[in-house]
Structure 1
């Protein structure tokens, strides 16, 4: 995986992050989702690294990065806290301004990064959904049926017990998934979902989502804060976004000053399923914006 990339642990003020980085040129930060690690990008990152400096961390709480202390409001796994990590990480590598591409839970970190640190983010690519606050406002029967896990994961204790009783069964780990992800990326991901501390931190991510993250989104909306950089929204047509939201870009328009978007013929994990197409679209966006 990641031929030509370096792997290191970076100590930040609030977290210790495992980070893979390589390439040269304008910087791009790639943020993974649940329950993956940075290894989910192993097919996309080398394509971007031909013309860009690419940085792929394990988010705080995920993979081999450090886990925050628990707090009643779950703020240690809030997207604001994770975004602070990313702003500090990129400055560690000497990048005052950079593009960010986020998938799944990582997309929420990317969104928060663009709102909280607007001078730092040159481009935002949001892969998968709509902002957390917007999603929760649309949490109707259809949402609850398809995305019931948001509400189960927010419960205390029981999700940990359910997942850790048999992580392979819970996450549907099969030879087919291993083939899709690639052997090394699959091994990295599987080690993460078998680690109790990582599973707990990933669930804290969802607990933060239903509380403090939603509050932050709604506060920004009330204040009229928007993403000022060019924004690309991509969604997999073989997954849930289109059934959940009739017009994904209409939900995004109040949030982004310069917006484009499209569906991609893929399941949920676009970086693993259609890496060439995804990389080509992202590169076009970065070059033209």
Structure 2
């Protein structure tokens, strides 16, 4: 699915990360979300590789990357730790400064990287996400139904691991199909790849660790930044799904929300898509993405 890309195993932060690299030009890091892998970029990455050096990691705990055990403080899968992974991976590849595009959990890693490592991130793109702090602050009846997995996966181990592990294929299929726009069909090869990884017990445990961090460590880091007035300084673009998307929860436009978190310029738009913008609406995403990334050349 990624002709011309080279697969690498890169050591960073004491873990081995699966990373694919292709193209030539300014570096762009693409970060996937839950419950997927780097394969979500199979429409986007080959097009970007015509103008950019594209880096596609599997986040820690996902895909072919290492999945360490969570700790009591839920720091192992904090977005701070995952952002540090990505800075180290890019340094290993020879890139000190780079643009980052993140979807879902990958977008949470992206904005944490922009806050913690502003010297490295030149531009950032958020796909169907607003900050974790904002999600929990706005959590109400509507949000709890749409994003039921947030409190479910954050429950103490091993409750969600046992429940999902009873039939992980069913859970994965239900999540992917219910979060996508009605009538959308995933590429069969991509779907098989998601299933190959998500049905592994260590990935289920790691992804629960990801959401436990989101309910504890991550929101604490966000709250500390809010209190300190610490904001994102690089240009930010947000795109969100107009159908079945999550970013519009809370009654405010994602543009309004992100503007509160930024000192730099903020732009964005809704896309006619469900949650999985890179697969459901790749052409529309690229129409926004390429001009934004080229501005930073």
State the TM-score bracket (shorter-chain normalisation): over 0.9
By how many angstroms is 1:167 displaced? 1.3
2:231 equivalent among 213, 226, 233: 226
Structure 2: segments with no counterpart, 5+ residues: none
Task: Determine whether 1:206 maps to 2:211.
Answer: yes
Conserved? CA contact 2:172–2:195, under 8 Å: no
Task: Determine whether 1:164 maps to 2:165.
Answer: yes
By how many angstroms is 1:286 displaced? 1.1
Within 5 Å, which residues of 2 pair with 1:66-215? 66-156=66-156, 157-172=158-173, 180-215=185-220
1:253 equivalent among 235, 251, 259: 259
* Number of residue equivalences: 288
TM-score, normalised to structure 2, is 0.93
2:11 aligned residue:
11
1:287 aligned residue:
294
1:118 aligns to what SS in structure 2?
Answer: coil
1:278 equivalent among 276, 285, 291: 285
What is the distance in 2 between the residues matched to 1:100 and 1:29?
Answer: 5
Conserved? CA contact 1:14–1:85, under 8 Å: no
2:242 aligned residue:
237
User: CA-to-partner distance for each residue in 1:122-150, whole Å, 9 max, x for gaps?
Assistant: 00001112100111111122211221210
What is the distance in 1 between the residues matched to 2:194 and 2:279?
Answer: 13
2:21 aligned residue:
21
2:7 aligns to what SS in structure 1?
Answer: strand
Structure 1: segments with no counterpart, 5+ residues: none
User: CA-to-partner distance for each residue in 1:165-206, whole Å, 9 max, x for gaps?
Assistant: 1112112269989x8332332222111111000010001000
What is the distance in 2 between the residues matched to 1:274 and 1:247?
Answer: 20
Within 5 Å, which residues of 2 pair with 1:25-44? 25-44=25-44
1:60 aligned residue:
60
User: CA-to-partner distance for each residue in 1:235-289, whole Å, 9 max, x for gaps?
Assistant: 0000233354332211111211210011000011111111122122111111235
Distance 1:283 1:74, change over 3 A: same
Conserved? CA contact 2:20–2:57, under 8 Å: yes
What is the distance in 1 between the residues matched to 2:31 and 2:150?
Answer: 20
Conserved? CA contact 2:139–2:250, under 8 Å: no
What is the distance in 2 between the residues matched to 1:42 and 1:151?
Answer: 30
